[in-house]
Amino acid sequence: MVKLRKGRRAYTPSSTLGIMRFFDTESKAPKVSPELVVAIAIAFILIILVLQVVAL
């Protein structure tokens, strides 16, 4: 742990401010919920598994 001398202030890294600005910006891309992405991934995996079983 770093001890600061009296009168000195600790500042947050400037990178955190940049990250907050990045997430605050609006984009023109369609909004997709995380649940939908997971559901599509699971459906894709199931389709691949079914196709492998049928091909045997």
Neighbours of 49 (CB within 10 A): 10
CB 36 within 8 A of CB 44: no
Could you give the CA distance from residue 38 to residue 14 in angstroms, rounded to a whole number?
33
Q: Is the pTM of this model over 0.95?
A: no
What is the domain range of residue 41? 32-56
Q: What is the pLDDT of residues 21-45, one digit of tens each?
A: 655 667 788 888 999 999 999 999 9
Q: Tell me, yes or no, whether 52 lies in a domain.
A: yes
Q: Tell me, yes or no, whether 26 lies in a domain.
A: no
> Two tokens at 41?
């991934």
Q: Tell me, yes or no, whether 55 lies in a domain.
A: yes
Q: Please tell me the total count of domains within the chain.
A: 1
Could you give the CA distance from residue 50 to residue 56 in angstroms, rounded to a whole number?
10
Residue 51, pLDDT > 70, answer yes
Specify the pLDDT at position 54: 93
Could you give the CA distance from residue 13 to residue 4 in angstroms, rounded to a whole number?
16
Residue identified by tokens 């891309």 is 29
Q: Tell me, yes or no, whether 10 lies in a domain.
A: no
